[in-house]
Structures are given as structure tokens and as C-alpha cells.
A = this chain, B = another copy of it.
Amino acid sequence: MSQAEADALIKSTDPEHPANLIPELCASFYHLGWVTGTGGGISIRQGDKVYIAPSGVQKERIKPEHIFVLPYPRPSPEVFLRKPTQPLKESACTPLFWNAFDLRGAGSCVHTHSQHAVMATLLWEGETWEVSHLEMIKGVRKAGTDKALSYLDTVVVPIIDNTPFEEDLKDSMAEAMKKYPDAAGVLVRRHGVYVWGTDWEKAKTQTECLDYLFEVSVKMKLAGLPTKLG
């Protein structure tokens, strides 16, 4: 494919085209404190194409021309449908986003470094973070891609240990996703969270719900309130 043909994959006047959405959403996530300091981001898969932001760049300043397009499925980690002409590398989260696509059939995956997620992993010392009886649970879906949870469900998110290299989280994240097949995300201790959904809207709104729940559950725990009833 010529660079012009490849670039056509990220040029669109439609504000909801992934190459336009990723910059807009990342800027919005920056103002939520989710992706400061170049960390975090969102990946969108539409059919056999995956759109991914670069690694190590200011997430609130991404432009469509910085977006990578990868084939799905992907024959090998060297294959791209489109790469930026700048000397950029695709997000180090790519193998983690792939877990969400492969194991849950997700159409989008968000990664944040939200301090609420990090504090939740520090105050919940076991293998999972769990809360119950909060309205926002209803905004989270079983497995992230299935039907919405009920107010009476306990939401459970597994917590895996962090590793020096982001890509080395791939196996433990996959393992946690298999062990907790109903989980809509995976927390990484001292690091952040991965949350996925059928499409970017559902990945984003579920990340909002879980981030809200991380935040309020941390407040509750610090105030000495129980975070799981019954």
C-alpha cells in the first residue's frame, strides 16, 4: 500500500471516525487526569482494522496523522496497515488492547493511570477489587460486552501485579480475564486499569462508571464505611 493509500485510512471529515475520535477522546481523558504524562489512551477496533495512538506522546495533543492502523487479526507484530511518517512507535499497550479484542470480542479498550484506580489497588490488597450496592454498578456490563449488571450484583475487577515493561502484562492480564470471565476490566496494581466494551461509547462510559466506583469506594474505605454489603 502506498503512503497515500495508507493515509486515506486516517483521513476523514467524520468526527466519529476513529482517527478523529482518538485524539478528541484522549484530550478529554487528559482533563479527567487519566492520561497525563503521556500514559494511557484508547484503542478502537472496527471490523478488521485497529486504530491505535503512538507511545510516549502527549495524549492531549495527538493528531489524526499520528494514528497507527493495524490489521485484525494481525499476522505478526511487525504488520501495519498504516504508520505515521514521524518517527513514532505504536502504544506499548497494544498487546493489552489485543487481549480485549481476542478474549472478549471488544471493539474498544481504554487504559488509564487514574489515581482512583491506583488507590483502589493499594487499599484492596487481595486479588480483586469488589463493591456492591452503588447505582453506578448498573453502568458496567458483564464481561464488559454482555448485558448490564444489576444494582444487586457485586462488581468484581481482578487486580494483577505490575511489571517493568507494559507488554509483559499481556499474559497475566489474559489469565485474569479467563479466571474472572465476568469482569469488565483489569486493574494493574500501582499502575492503572484496562476497561473494554463493544464499541468506543461503551468502553468509555464503562471506564467512567468504574472510575467513579474506584473513587467513591476509596472515599468510603477511608471514611470507615463498608464497601460490600450482605
Q: Footprint of B on A, CB under 8 Å? A: 33, 36-39, 58, 113, 115, 118-119, 122-123, 133-136, 139, 150-152, 162-164, 188, 190-192, 201, 204-206, 208-209, 211-212, 215-216, 219-220, 222-223, 225
Is the Cβ of A123 less than 8 Å from the Cβ of B219? no
Which residues of chain B have C-beta atoms less than 8 A from A119's C-beta?
A: 216, 219-220, 223
Is the Cβ of B118 less than 8 Å from the Cβ of A134? yes
Known: A115-B216, A139-B39, A201-B58. A223 touches B222 (CB 8 A): yes
Q: Roughly how many angstroms separate A197 CA and B169 CA in the complex, as a whole number? A: 29
Q: Contacts A37-B205, A113-B136, A134-B190 given; 5 further ones with Cβ under 8 A?
A: A33-B212, A36-B209, A122-B220, A133-B190, A135-B190
Closest to A165 in B: B151
Q: Roughly how many angstroms separate A113 CA and B216 CA in the complex, as a whole number? A: 11
